[in-house]
Structure 1
Amino acid sequence: MLSGAIGRVQSPRVIRIGGGVALEVADVLEQLGLSKPLIVTDKNLIILGHVATVTDVLDSAGVAWGVFEDVVEDPTDTCVDAGLNAFGQSDYDCVIGLGGGSPMDTAKAISFMSVNAGHVREYKAPYQIDRCGPPVILIPTTGGTGSELTRWCVITDTERTEKYNLSGLACVATAALIDWTFTTTKPWRITADTAVDSLTHAMEAYVSRRAFAYTDAFALSAMPLISEHVRSACHDPENAIAREALMLAASQAGMAFSNASVALVHGMSRPIGAHFHVAHGLSNAMLLPAVTAFSVNDAPERYATCARVMCWASERDSDEMACARLVEELTRLNDDLKVPCPSELGHAKDDAMFSVMAEQALASGSPQNNPRIPSAAEIVQLYQQIW
């Protein structure tokens, strides 16, 4: 971003961060003048007891509540419709999104679609959804998506097999309670994938054509936290230091990409999720080394800085050497985190499908933020390379 250009920042009104802050949910509702939330979550979080952690606090405070527990992974338009129906069954005055990116994004969509007519696809980016619905309180249970602090959500269209971004003031939470203690129950695969999702957020925000000083600060702080602690969190799920670091990094990276946007990795990742039902963080991990190698020569100083802040290169290394080290270490990180390629998950190469996916990636707008803006043919080649 050029010096003197204007950065525009959107963030929640209330942000509380730290172990145990989820227990302050009733206090936050009172602060905001709210009295009856619909909790949007999934069945697994009920089984794990995380929903009870919140509802017990609400019960103790005499706060009435309801639950919509039917959120699916990579939430769909039909999931949002079901949540809207649940919201309309009582006089709820706010929504609590409790979980990973799927429940949080669903909560956002339920809120803004309760006051905006039509189908959710009518509001996909670059449309800006600024007519806000009821307040949204987000409580993440994974250290990855950063949705609790972003102005984005992602919904899958079941009719068109398309995963699209939604953006605007209506996608910004009213409050975020960021409590790392929820993440200790997460298994290796989710821990690894959500951490690399955060790393991708931070790196893409930093190299984005829309980056500026405010977002740079968050991105540069998040990257070393992830690179230093992700392996420890995977090998030792109860490691409090690692878990806290990854949750903080996820939020910092969320602030960075929410206001600087993501780039080519995310543009290519969404079609993988839509067509092959690969988890978002995992598809990002599959793509990150190859897309970085594709892009480094168009922003060598920026990518070299990424390598240096993660201690993968030194100040004595040339930018060229640092960029090479960055690609090497991202590849090594994938190996250590046991990231499979799509074919190892049973998904066969399909050049015709890759062409469709390339067009969907470009239509999302994210690749246009990349240092090297790809053609559709180059995106197809990248899909072939990582497959």
Structure 2
Amino acid sequence: MSHFAIPSHIISGTDVLSESAVYLKTMGNKAFIVTGKHVAVSEMMTKLLNMLDEIKITYKIFDGITGEPTDKMIEQGVELFKSSGCDFIIGIGGGSPLDSAKAIAAMSVNSGKISDYNGIEIKGAIPPLAAIPTTAGTGSEATKFTVITDSEKGIKMLLKGDVLIPQLAIVDSSFTFSSPNSVTAATGLDALTHAVEAYTSKKAIPLTDTLAVSAVKRIMKYLPIAYNEPENSSAREQMSLAALEAGICINNSSVTIVHGMSRPIGALFHVPHGMSNAMLLKECLSFAESGAYEKFANLGRETKVASESDTDEEAADKFIDSLQKICDICEIPTLEKYGIDKEEYYSQIDKMSQDAVASGSPGNTVRDVTVEDCKRIYKNLYK
């Protein structure tokens, strides 16, 4: 029997933050708010704090998440949480603050270093969690995963456990309007990667298939609009919904080769996660395609880039080509244009390939993925 897990409560739409008050009141009396420097002084934070004041919940703000989270940031957050007297946690921001909120919650009740839990199922009660995404992409508001960089080993650690799924997900698309184009592109393509990988994963189940196809269709239609028309409220709402759908999908059927190979690039060359996914999208899924022609073909037909008269292989090829087209629309750079030195990149290919396979994600791909396969894909990527 397949297991399907989602947050206890999901509130989604435009300008829906106030609807979360009744649920936040049940979570505790003092909130530990995890965020970054920008969101900490934003109108979004003002709205949240005003609502907490109205429902008589006090709070402590930790705005120490600067960029993608590291073990050092989490240690700092845990120390502050333990001394703050807070009894529940709210993460607000992009994927980094949401992932950090989960990690802080987990490490506030577990001993040792966060690196001790890399790849290990985290169990036992943790402080209640609420997640408020301000980007449409990571889906962290709906997942049992958190990705934290081990600053000593130079790897991205994957922590997991059903206890990390936020009890409350507040998906207010009005909070995404301030995202710059580069963030809209990277997070939107991250969500697209989630949906496609979850749909073609060995762990896919009928419930995730339904949501994954829905998410892919929304993103292929609305991401170019959100990118070119940032104030388009309909496109923003559709993208927030798609990111949520895709997050639910990876929570239950996981990610595959793209994420496995993306994390080492991010850890070693500091490429934003969604952007490194997008850079790898066509190369990795072209590799995976032959193991799931029928599913890739269905995505091609559902998104109208392929027709019923196309063979599955033809329809699958057309869908893979459409992924590159949407990356081009969103102006995703090559590794070279991003500024990564070729010699330095090649010197890290062996390590990146081993780290990718060791992460476990490539093992969910419908084709077997070896270290040598990863080396070949990494080399093709720079070409």
TM-score between both structures, scaled by the size of structure 1 = 0.96
Runs of 4+ aligned structure 1 residues displaced above 3 Å come to none
Q: What's 2:57 paired with?
A: 63
Q: What's 1:183 paired with?
A: 176
What amino acid maps onto 2:234 in structure 1? I
Q: What's 1:151 paired with?
A: 144
Identify which of 350, 374, 378 aligns with 2:373: 378
Q: Describe the superposition over 1:352-377 as per-residue Cα deviations: whole angstroms up to 9, x where unpaired.
A: 30110000000100000011222111
1:360 aligns with 2:355: yes
1:264 aligns with 2:257: yes
1:247 aligns with 2:240: yes
Q: What's 1:13 paired with?
A: 8
Kept in 1, the 8 Å contact 2:257–2:284? The answer is: yes
Alignment of 1:117-196 (within 5 A): 117-125=111-119, 127-196=120-189
In the TM superposition, residue 297 of structure 1 has moved relative to its aligned partner by 1.0
Q: What's 1:351 paired with?
A: 346
In the TM superposition, residue 72 of structure 1 has moved relative to its aligned partner by 2.0
Alignment of 1:225-236 (within 5 A): 225-236=218-229
Q: What's 1:286 paired with?
A: 279
Moved more, 300-309 or 246-255: 300-309
Q: For structure 2, which runs of at least 5 residues remain unmatched after alignment?
A: none
Q: What's 2:90 paired with?
A: 96
Q: What's 2:19 paired with?
A: 24
Moved more, 220-229 or 344-353: 344-353
SS in structure 2 of the partner of residue 196 of structure 1? helix
Q: What's 1:109 paired with?
A: 103
1:81 aligns with 2:75: yes
Quick one: distance in 1 between partners of 2:124 and 2:110? 7
Quick one: distance in 2 between partners of 1:381 and 1:105? 31
What amino acid maps onto 1:59 in structure 2? D
In the TM superposition, residue 151 of structure 1 has moved relative to its aligned partner by 0.9
**Corresponding residue pairs, total:** 380
1:39 aligns with 2:23: no
Kept in 1, the 8 Å contact 2:199–2:212? The answer is: yes
Q: Describe the superposition over 1:294-344 as per-residue Cα deviations: whole angstroms up to 9, x where unpaired.
A: 111111001111212222112221111111101211111111111101111
In the TM superposition, residue 385 of structure 1 has moved relative to its aligned partner by 1.2
**Closer, same or farther: CA 302–51 of 1 in aligned 2, 3 Å:** same
1:318 aligns with 2:318: no
Kept in 2, the 8 Å contact 1:99–1:142? The answer is: yes
What amino acid maps onto 1:117 in structure 2? S
In the TM superposition, residue 185 of structure 1 has moved relative to its aligned partner by 0.7
What amino acid maps onto 1:294 in structure 2? F
Quick one: distance in 2 between partners of 1:356 and 1:303? 30
What amino acid maps onto 2:72 in structure 1? T
Q: Describe the superposition over 1:54-86 as per-residue Cα deviations: whole angstroms up to 9, x where unpaired.
A: 001111222211100011221000000111111
Quick one: distance in 2 between partners of 1:300 and 1:109? 37
Quick one: distance in 1 between partners of 2:56 and 2:227? 38
SS in structure 2 of the partner of residue 185 of structure 1? coil
TM-score between both structures, scaled by the size of structure 2 = 0.97
SS in structure 1 of the partner of residue 308 of structure 2? coil
Kept in 2, the 8 Å contact 1:111–1:132? The answer is: no
* RMSD across aligned positions (CA): 1.1
Identity %: 39
Quick one: distance in 1 between partners of 2:27 and 2:51? 17
Kept in 1, the 8 Å contact 2:27–2:128? The answer is: no
SS in structure 2 of the partner of residue 96 of structure 1? strand
What amino acid maps onto 1:386 in structure 2? L
Quick one: distance in 1 between partners of 2:41 and 2:378? 37
In the TM superposition, residue 145 of structure 1 has moved relative to its aligned partner by 0.3
SS in structure 1 of the partner of residue 90 of structure 2? strand
What amino acid maps onto 1:384 in structure 2? K
SS in structure 2 of the partner of residue 137 of structure 1? strand
What amino acid maps onto 1:366 in structure 2? S
In the TM superposition, residue 351 of structure 1 has moved relative to its aligned partner by 2.6
In the TM superposition, residue 33 of structure 1 has moved relative to its aligned partner by 4.4
Q: Describe the superposition over 1:6-53 as per-residue Cα deviations: whole angstroms up to 9, x where unpaired.
A: 2112221111111122223432222x2421101100011123322111
Quick one: distance in 2 between partners of 1:71 and 1:290? 32
Q: What's 2:198 paired with?
A: 205
1:296 aligns with 2:296: no
Quick one: distance in 2 between partners of 1:379 and 1:299? 19
Quick one: distance in 2 between partners of 1:245 and 1:386? 31
Quick one: distance in 1 between partners of 2:305 and 2:164? 35
In the TM superposition, residue 348 of structure 1 has moved relative to its aligned partner by 1.6
Q: What's 1:333 paired with?
A: 326
